[in-house]
């Protein structure tokens, strides 16, 4: 086997000499690689010189093999996808996967090196034949092939259009600073590798154009393909993009050279050039000079971290001007890439600092060039939308708003949280925005010039160096003479909320005595503004408010005092941030009715209204008006009323609820809900039920917020009142009854392993009963899914057997009577017709209509429901149960058939084949035996799309 690569070694020596001039030696990496377009494999020969810059003797080395993260269903990447309810990698074919095949690993004496895979299958441990002493180096030769994954899982790999995006595609040294930092690929863009001087000789097919973040020293053509020679000094990994079309354009600006394919419609090349010039000038002025030969800014990189929000709408309805849209796309992508290429932080544990600088500069760019830009853009001027508070929000107000989405749900996490421990919304949006907003908060407090100077000083002295956030902290503290410990100790290091209120204002002829209350106890500065006719006439900062503090300010004609008026502080609740100085009546908040839900306006009592339309066969279509106070951000107390009109019954129906939610902690017992709900609809012709339910629910969750596991203990008392048409038969059960219901639920809805179970106890005047339900789903490695459900119910006492309808409160085999009126039946009293075929998997969970004597149990019942998929969403199911009624022998029951599992729990069809009834498929009126599940609740369906984020 050929061990020496002449061209590669020449570049390696050049780069090594360059590196030796640095303050400390860096590793040297020389790669010869060849891409095969047919097999989608890269053959790699790699010569690596490892410099031991530590004071430790090294006997093993670790290398990142992130391409291997796509190799199977048990890697760190596959497990991360499962946490986010993504099945793509689990269900992938072997031909679509990526993996690395190590062919040989030898030292400089051509002796074989022992190696094995460790953490997450994408970290390689190499045992050295001789230890590396401090200050010494070792030379390794590695030969391997990299099978590229299809880019259906992440942006990396290849697509069917013959595009290639190569990043983290070869072996790179794990970072060592006295301890090894071994981070698996979890699609978080946080490879932690040591800095190297690298040369790459890359052979690739004809007809493709190459761009890279490395400098391209040359590109030559030969009969079978092309050879590109790439080099970089003090960079981490080589990124290569290959495309059949030459879509990248090089812009040479006075500040840096940029290669980009960032696009936006209806924006010409000249205009793009002017925008790029302005952005690169802004970055250089506010950050510093970019130290590499050029900056690569690709559409692929933008799509990994897009501008979240309404700018992700289809292009024909995007609300922003083309110039603004283009500049924000380019600016965000450029800043992320610059900081990644030049500030060598721990990208998994200290990512917040890069996020803070990038988002702070984005906030500053909008303030400088687009100070009047609204969050809704052109939509804010449209009649019908411009009255919304959301339409009046400035573009930069999205930062506290989107951070508060998780903070209000008690899902916010400290900025120091490791990337792989953040829920997706925090990792992608909320924590990044909180970080940038934090620097803007600090700048407002100590002075923007001081923070700006601190950032530039930090970047100047630490770019291209291994750096810690402590270095940034020390520089900022030297820039100001006021105490900013609170920023790092409270704002960055914890998830403590910031919340102040103006408790009281006392007026004298020339002064205002203001009592400020710190509601959360987070000791950070707070700003106080004095307003007159919506103009700011005074501004003050106050600090060291642990609980309450009385401050005095001079009177300057203020009509209103407002805390945090400029929204620089991500405050938890701003509804109590203001006080009017015009007397009692002027301090009352006015009612404001708004069509549809809006963002929170702290100066009004907001009431939202929206038309609703519901359906059941007794009421028919029931249009109504929903009135509620729930804003786009969660709030503790919510009311929601939906009075409606039943056209079929010509009467009022509807529902309503009052709910107070109290978050108790971040994990463990984390929430308590206090509720009162009611509803009234018809359950038969001219027959109404009304339901009033007070309730109390406690929730538990684990310390790991990414985990989907939840536990709940709920207590409620269901009061049911029924009126029946006098022309129909009398009630065969009491018309009014109350049931005390206690339920413990344990829910872990993983996409690979789903487990949910509950124990339910009910007590009423005439019965008491217990029930247990367990549901388990398993997606196997052969992509076969097995579903298992077990139900058991037992009456502890039962006097309902004396009723004319003894089964109204009984356990049901195939269609519960729903005496608590919990289920969304379209026709709850139907015994025939299409509506009677609706099935809700509860209690027995059977799909076939068995004889009446088997369908209910007034003593006890136990059933098992199973199914397994044959192909995609086509499954076979089987149910087995035992039904026991008082005074008669028990009966073994079963059924089986085919299930079309189009959308689990939301839209399913069941076709019975065989049961206690015999071969049902051959019996007459088979269409009446088919059962269906349908969910029409928008709130429930939306949960399908939001669950991966929260």
Give me the CATH number covering residue 567: 2.60.40.10
The whole-angstrom separation of Cα 735 and Cα 134 is 86
Q: Are residues 759 and 645 located together in one domain of the fold?
A: no
Q: Are residues 804 and 826 located together in one domain of the fold?
A: yes
The whole-angstrom separation of Cα 357 and Cα 286 is 10
CB atoms within 10 A of CB 228: 21
CA dihedral (280, 284, 285, 286) positive or negative: positive
Match 């990043």 to its residue by tokens: 167
**For residue 504, is it within any domain?**
yes
Tell how strand 511-518 and strand 604-616 pair up: unpaired
Residue 651, token pair as written in the block: 């009467």
Radius of gyration for the alpha carbons in the chain, expressed in angstroms and rounded: 33
Q: Are residues 197 and 308 located together in one domain of the fold?
A: no
* Host H or E run for residue 940: helix 938-946
The whole-angstrom separation of Cα 404 and Cα 424 is 15
CA angle 385, 386, 387 (to 5 degrees): 90
CA dihedral (533, 536, 538, 541) positive or negative: positive
Q: Are residues 363 and 242 located together in one domain of the fold?
A: no
The whole-angstrom separation of Cα 21 and Cα 309 is 46
Query: Are the beta carbons of 289 and 309 closer than 8 angstroms?
Result: no
For each successive 10 residues of the chain (950 residues), what is the average pLDDT? Answer: 38 39 70 97 97 96 96 92 87 92 96 94 96 96 97 94 96 95 95 94 96 95 93 93 96 97 88 96 97 96 86 71 94 97 95 97 97 91 88 93 94 95 94 96 96 97 93 95 95 95 91 94 95 91 94 92 92 90 68 90 90 90 94 94 94 96 95 97 91 97 93 98 82 90 95 94 97 94 89 96 87 94 87 89 94 92 95 92 94 96 82 95 93 72 62
Domain's final residue, options 541, 563, 588: 588
The whole-angstrom separation of Cα 277 and Cα 226 is 33
Question: Among candidates 863, 874, 924, 928, which has minimal Cα distance to 897?
Answer: 874
| 287 DSSP assignment | T
Q: Are residues 701 and 641 located together in one domain of the fold?
A: no
The whole-angstrom separation of Cα 500 and Cα 551 is 14
Q: Are residues 236 and 255 located together in one domain of the fold?
A: no
- Rounded to the nearest angstrom, the gap between the alpha carbon of residue 538 and the centroid of all alpha carbons in its chain is 40
Classify 331 as helix, strand or coil. Answer: helix
The whole-angstrom separation of Cα 396 and Cα 324 is 13
* Host H or E run for residue 85: none
Tell how strand 907-915 and strand 931-934 pair up: antiparallel
The pLDDT score that the predictor gives to residue 385 is 86
**For residue 114, is it within any domain?**
yes
Question: Among candidates 768, 764, 773, which has minimal Cα distance to 858?
Answer: 768
Segments of 687-749 assigned E as strands: 687-701, 710-723, 736-749
The whole-angstrom separation of Cα 781 and Cα 775 is 20
Three-state SS string across 894-920, please?
Answer: EEEEEEEEEECCCEEEEEEEEECCEEH
- Rounded to the nearest angstrom, the gap between the alpha carbon of residue 657 and the centroid of all alpha carbons in its chain is 29
Q: Are residues 207 and 356 located together in one domain of the fold?
A: no
Q: Are residues 375 and 439 located together in one domain of the fold?
A: yes
Which CATH number covers residue 350? Answer: 1.10.390.10
Q: Are residues 407 and 432 located together in one domain of the fold?
A: yes
* Host H or E run for residue 175: strand 175-176
For helices 448-462 and 431-446, angle between their N-to-C axes, nearest 10 degrees: 120
Residue 826, token pair as written in the block: 């379209």
> Residues 6 or more apart from 831 whose CB is under 8 A from it?
none
> Residues 6 or more apart from 159 whose CB is under 8 A from it?
150, 151
The whole-angstrom separation of Cα 695 and Cα 710 is 19
Domain's final residue, options 630, 659, 688: 659
Domain encompassing residue 510: 500-588
Classify 690 as helix, strand or coil. Answer: strand
The pLDDT score that the predictor gives to residue 554 is 94
Q: Are residues 481 and 555 located together in one domain of the fold?
A: no
Number of domains present in the structure of the chain? 5
The whole-angstrom separation of Cα 216 and Cα 219 is 7
Q: Are residues 277 and 306 located together in one domain of the fold?
A: yes
Classify 456 as helix, strand or coil. Answer: helix
User: From residue 592, how far is each of 232, 312, 446, 792 by CA, in Å?
Assistant: 60, 30, 37, 51
* Host H or E run for residue 244: none
CA angle 121, 167, 143 (to 5 degrees): 60
**For residue 336, is it within any domain?**
yes
Predicted TM-score (pTM) above 0.85 = yes
Q: Assign residue 554 a region: left if phi > 0, alpha if psi is -120 to 50, beta otherwise? A: beta
Domain's final residue, options 197, 219, 247: 247
Question: Among candidates 423, 420, 375, 378, which has minimal Cα distance to 399?
Answer: 375
Tell how strand 257-260 and strand 295-297 pair up: parallel
* 535-542, strands of its sheet edge to edge: 535-542, 526-532, 560-563, 578-580
Q: Are residues 552 and 636 located together in one domain of the fold?
A: no
Match 């369908």 to its residue by tokens: 855
**For residue 594, is it within any domain?**
no
Paired with 608 in beta bridges are: 594, 628
The pLDDT score that the predictor gives to residue 90 is 87
Task: Give 280's Cβ-side CA count (13 Å radius).
Answer: 22
């Amino acid at each position: 086997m050929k061990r020496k690569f002449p061209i590669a070694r020449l570049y390696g020596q050049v780069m090594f000499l360059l590196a030796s001039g640095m303050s400390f030696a860096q590793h040297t990496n020389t790669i010869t690689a060849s891409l095969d377009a047919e097999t989608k494999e890269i053959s790699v020969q790699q010569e690596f010189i490892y410099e031991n810059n530590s004071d430790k003797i090294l006997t093993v080395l670790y290398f990142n093999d992130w391409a291997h993260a796509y190799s199977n269903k048990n890697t760190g990447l596959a497990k991360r996808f499962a946490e986010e309810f993504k099945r793509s990698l689990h269900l992938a074919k072997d031909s679509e996967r990526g993996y690395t095949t190590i062919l040989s690993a030898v030292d400089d004496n051509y002796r074989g090196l022992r190696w094995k895979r460790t953490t997450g299958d994408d970290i390689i441990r190499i045992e050295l034949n001789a230890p590396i002493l401090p200050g010494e180096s070792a030379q390794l030769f590695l030969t391997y092939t990299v099978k590229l994954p299809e880019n259906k899982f992440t942006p990396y790999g290849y697509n069917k259009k013959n595009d290639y995006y190569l990043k983290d595609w070869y072996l790179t040294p794990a970072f060592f600073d006295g301890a090894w930092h071994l981070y698996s690929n979890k699609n978080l863009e946080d490879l932690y590798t040591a800095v190297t001087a690298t040369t790459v000789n890359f052979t690739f097919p004809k007809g493709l154009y190459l761009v890279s973040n490395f400098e391209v020293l040359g590109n030559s053509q030969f009969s079978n393909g092309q050879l590109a020679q790439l080099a970089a000094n003090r960079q981490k990994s080589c990124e290569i993009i290959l495309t059949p079309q030459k879509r990248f354009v090089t812009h040479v600006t006075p500040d840096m050279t940029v290669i980009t394919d960032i696009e936006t419609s209806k924006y010409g090349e000249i205009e793009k050039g002017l925008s790029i010039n302005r952005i690169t000038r802004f970055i250089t002025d506010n950050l510093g000079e970019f130290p590499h030969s050029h900056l690569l800014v690709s559409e692929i990189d933008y799509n990994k971290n897009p501008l979240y929000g309404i700018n992700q709408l289809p292009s024909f309805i995007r609300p922003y001007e083309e110039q603004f849209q283009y500049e924000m796309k380019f600016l965000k992508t450029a800043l992320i890439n610059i900081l990644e290429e030049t500030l060598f932080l721990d990208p998994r544990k200290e990512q917040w600092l890069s996020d803070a600088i990038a988002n702070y500069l984005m906030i500053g760019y909008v303030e400088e060039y687009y100070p009047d830009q609204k969050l809704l853009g052109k939509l804010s001027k449209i009649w019908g939308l411009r009255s919304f508070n959301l339409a009046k929000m400035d573009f930069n107000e999205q930062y506290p708003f989107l951070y508060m989405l998780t903070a209000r749900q008690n899902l916010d996490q400290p900025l120091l949280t490791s990337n792989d421990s953040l829920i997706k919304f925090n990792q992608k949006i909320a924590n990044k925005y909180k970080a940038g907003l934090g620097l803007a908060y600090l700048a407002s407090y100590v002075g923007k010039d001081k923070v700006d100077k601190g950032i530039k000083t930090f970047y100047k002295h630490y770019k291209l160096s291994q750096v810690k956030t402590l270095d940034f902290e020390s520089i900022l503290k030297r820039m100001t003479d006021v105490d900013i410990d609170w920023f790092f100790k409270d704002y960055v290091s914890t998830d403590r909320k910031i919340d102040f209120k103006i408790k009281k204002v006392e007026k004298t002829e020339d002064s205002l005595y203001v009592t400020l209350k710190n509601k959360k106890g987070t000791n950070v500065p707070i700003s106080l503004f004095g307003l007159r006719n919506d103009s700011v006439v005074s501004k003050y900062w106050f600090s060291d408010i642990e609980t309450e503090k009385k401050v005095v300010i001079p009177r300057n004609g203020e009509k209103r005092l407002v805390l945090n008026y400029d929204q620089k502080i991500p405050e938890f609740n701003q509804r109590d941030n203001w006080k009017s100085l015009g007397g009692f009546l002027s301090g009352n908040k006015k009612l404001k009715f708004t069509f549809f839900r809006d963002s929170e306006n702290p100066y009004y009592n907001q009431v939202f209204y929206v038309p609703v339309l519901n359906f059941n066969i007794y009421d028919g279509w029931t249009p109504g008006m929903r009135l509620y106070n729930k804003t786009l951000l969660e709030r503790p107390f919510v009311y929601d009323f939906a009075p409606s009109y039943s056209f079929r019954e010509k009467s009022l129906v509807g529902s309503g609820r009052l709910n107070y939610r109290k978050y108790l902690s971040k994990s463990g017992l984390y929430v308590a809900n206090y509720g009162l709900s009611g509803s009234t609809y018809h359950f038969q012709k001219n027959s109404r039920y009304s339901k009033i339910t007070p309730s109390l629910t406690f929730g538990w969750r684990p310390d790991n917020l990414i985990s989907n596991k939840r536990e709940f203990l709920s207590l409620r008392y269901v009061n049911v009142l029924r009126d029946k048409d006098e022309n129909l038969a009398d009630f065969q059960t009491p018309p009014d009854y109350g049931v005390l219901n206690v339920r413990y639920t344990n829910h872990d809805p993983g996409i690979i392993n789903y487990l949910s179970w509950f124990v339910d106890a009910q007590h009423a005047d005439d019965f008491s009963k217990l029930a247990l339900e367990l549901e388990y789903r398993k997606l196997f490695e052969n992509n076969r899914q097995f579903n298992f459900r077990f139900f058991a119910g037992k009456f502890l006492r039962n006097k309902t057997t004396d009723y004319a309808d003894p089964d109204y409160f009984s356990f049901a085999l195939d269609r519960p009577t729903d005496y608590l009126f919990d289920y969304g039946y379209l026709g709850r009293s139907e015994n025939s017709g299409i509506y009677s075929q609706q099935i809700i998997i509860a209690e027995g969970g059977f799909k076939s209509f068995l004889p009446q004597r088997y369908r209910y149990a007034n003593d006890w019942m136990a059933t098992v429901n199973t199914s397994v998929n044959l192909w995609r969403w086509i499954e076979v199911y089987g149910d087995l149960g035992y039904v026991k009624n008082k005074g008669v022998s028990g009966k073994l029951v079963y059924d089986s058939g085919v299930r079309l599992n189009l959308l689990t729990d939301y839209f399913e069809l069941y076709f019975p084949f065989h049961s206690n009834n015999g071969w049902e498929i051959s019996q007459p009126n088979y269409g009446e035996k088919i059962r269906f599940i349908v969910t029409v609740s928008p709130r429930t369906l939306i949960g399908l799309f939001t669950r991966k984020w929260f």
